[in-house]
Amino acid sequence: MSRLTIIFLTIFVDLIGFGIVLPLLPFYAQEFGASPLVIGLIVAAHPAMQFVFGPLWGRVSDRVGRRPILLLGLVGSGISYLIFALAGSVAWLFASRMMAGMVGANVPVSQAYIADSTDMENRTRGMGLVGAAFGLGFIAGPAIGGALSQFGYAVPGFFAAGLCFANAAAAVFHLPESLSPELRARAASRGSAGLLGRLRLGVHFARSPAIGTLMTIFLIATFVFAAFTTVFPLWLGVELSYDARHAGYLMAYLGLAMAILQGRLLGPLARRFGERRLLVAGTATLVAAYLLLPLSETLWVLLGTLALVAFGTGLNWPTLNSLASQYTQHDMQGAILGVMQSLSAMGRMLGAIWAGWVFGTWSPAAPFVLCAGLMGLAAAFAILFMIRAPSPALLHSEPAVSG
């Protein structure tokens, strides 16, 4: 079994648990009397912790290796889902999501694992496998969560915890280390990975016009997607009278479309059109998708609109991460992907809070319309990047900075 297959399976099983919770959380919180803004705050607790810990885990994985950090994340995620299952108040829901965010190192570290194991020519395909695992987790997770929700919201939480613990046990025996001792030693010589070091890394990467533009697009895209996923279940309940089971099945459909794109089509599309054009296409598609969402008053129209969301998002995420890694030296892969994940966490944190506030204060459709405008701004940055960014090969001779 290849390394890419092993990391794919590891992330797939872990993201099933994440997918189980995602569509249920707004309905679960409503049982405790939470308003849309409070629901946004609960959703934001997870990325808020990732914002703090994401760069740290990526940098630490540069020093101690990817494998131990991935194992820590799996065990910690299992504990967080146990707390979710046993929650008896809004405060415990906050605690469960904070715990999940603190140990949620799997995505940036697994991306660094992919970067360790692929060359530049095949890196987009490798990142696409992580995206496909995310998409497949969205298929199985929300569907399982929706089906189990009829037995109470605790049952999906216990199921997710069991999956994480089983995945951790399997990874102990089947997940090899991807980072050589030489690269770990080189990273360890750079000094502390504390707050000051992480800020210096972020500032250094942002000073590069190419990486700075990618970071901006990534921040906008994750802000918008978080806004969408936070209020989409609530919008379904208000506009279409759907419940948690329906929300789970629709998000499973979204995951299926993303998995097909990223697992089967992304590699050929990148080879034929190039990653820069795919980035422009993805951001532009999301403008149309979010404008159409408030008009999706029937199931068939909604399914078509969600397909557009899947297409645009499925192009953006792996392409942005692949391009960012290509503009960074090899022994700094964990650092840049950790910083990118921290930006993603910031976007998801702010997007969830903002969407909950807009949904409750203005109207259910308002978050989607405003999201379309933000994606128009991201599309403008993507066009700018496509025109002006130099080849990454011209930048590899620059010396690395210490973090």
Confidence band for 206, pLDDT divided at 50, 70 and 90: confident
Q: What is the pLDDT of residue 346?
A: 87
Arithmetic mean of pLDDT over the chain: 84
Confidence band for 91, pLDDT divided at 50, 70 and 90: very high
Question: Between these two residues, 105 and 239, which has the higher pLDDT value?
Answer: 239
Domain range list for the chain: 3-174+193-389
Q: In the CATH hierarchy, which fold is given to the domain comprising 3-174+193-389? A: Growth Hormone; Chain: A; (1.20.1250)
Q: Is the pLDDT of residue 175 over 90?
A: no
Question: Between these two residues, 402 and 123, which has the higher pLDDT value?
Answer: 123
Q: What is the pLDDT of residue 135?
A: 67
Confidence band for 400, pLDDT divided at 50, 70 and 90: very low
pLDDT tens sequence across 41-90: 999 998 888 777 766 777 777 778 888 888 888 889 899 999 999 999 99
Of 354, 370, 365, 143, the C-alpha closest to 239 is 365
Gyration radius from the chain CA atoms: 20
pLDDT tens sequence across 152-165: 999 999 999 998 88
SS (H, E, C) the chain: CCHHHHHHHHHHHHHHHHHHHCCCHHHHHHHCCCCHHHHHHHHHHHHHHHHHHHHHHHHHHHHHCHHHHHHHHHHHHHHHHHHHHHCCCHHHHHHHHHHHHHCCCHHHHHHHHHHHHCCHHHHHHHHHHHHHHHHHHHHHHHHHHHHHHHHCCHHHHHHHHHHHHHHHHHHHHHCCCCCCHHHHHHHHCCCCCCHHHHHHHHHHHHHCHHHHHHHHHHHHHHHHHHHHHHHHHHHHHHHHCCCHHHHHHHHHHHHHHHHHHHHHHHHHHHHHHCHHHHHHHHHHHHHHHHHHHHHCCCHHHHHHHHHHHHHHHHHHHHHHHHHHHHCCCHHHHHHHHHHHHHHHHHHHHHHHHHHHHHHHHCCCCHHHHHHHHHHHHHHHHHHHHHHHCCCHHHHCCCCCCCC
Question: Between these two residues, 125 and 309, which has the higher pLDDT value?
Answer: 309
pLDDT tens sequence across 337-355: 767 877 888 899 999 999 9
pLDDT tens sequence across 359-385: 999 999 999 999 999 999 999 999 999
Q: What is the pLDDT of residue 398?
A: 47
Confidence band for 106, pLDDT divided at 50, 70 and 90: low
Mean pLDDT of 309-332: 85
Question: Between these two residues, 54 and 208, which has the higher pLDDT value?
Answer: 208
Confidence band for 210, pLDDT divided at 50, 70 and 90: confident
Mean pLDDT of 188-196: 55
Q: What is the pLDDT of residue 1?
A: 52
Confidence band for 192, pLDDT divided at 50, 70 and 90: very low
Question: Between these two residues, 105 and 142, which has the higher pLDDT value?
Answer: 142
Q: Which of 139-148, 210-219, 324-333 has the lowest mean pLDDT?
A: 324-333
Q: Is the pLDDT of residue 333 over 90?
A: no
Q: Is the pLDDT of residue 402 over 80?
A: no
Confidence band for 226, pLDDT divided at 50, 70 and 90: very high
Q: Which of 103-117, 233-247, 346-360 has the lowest mean pLDDT?
A: 103-117
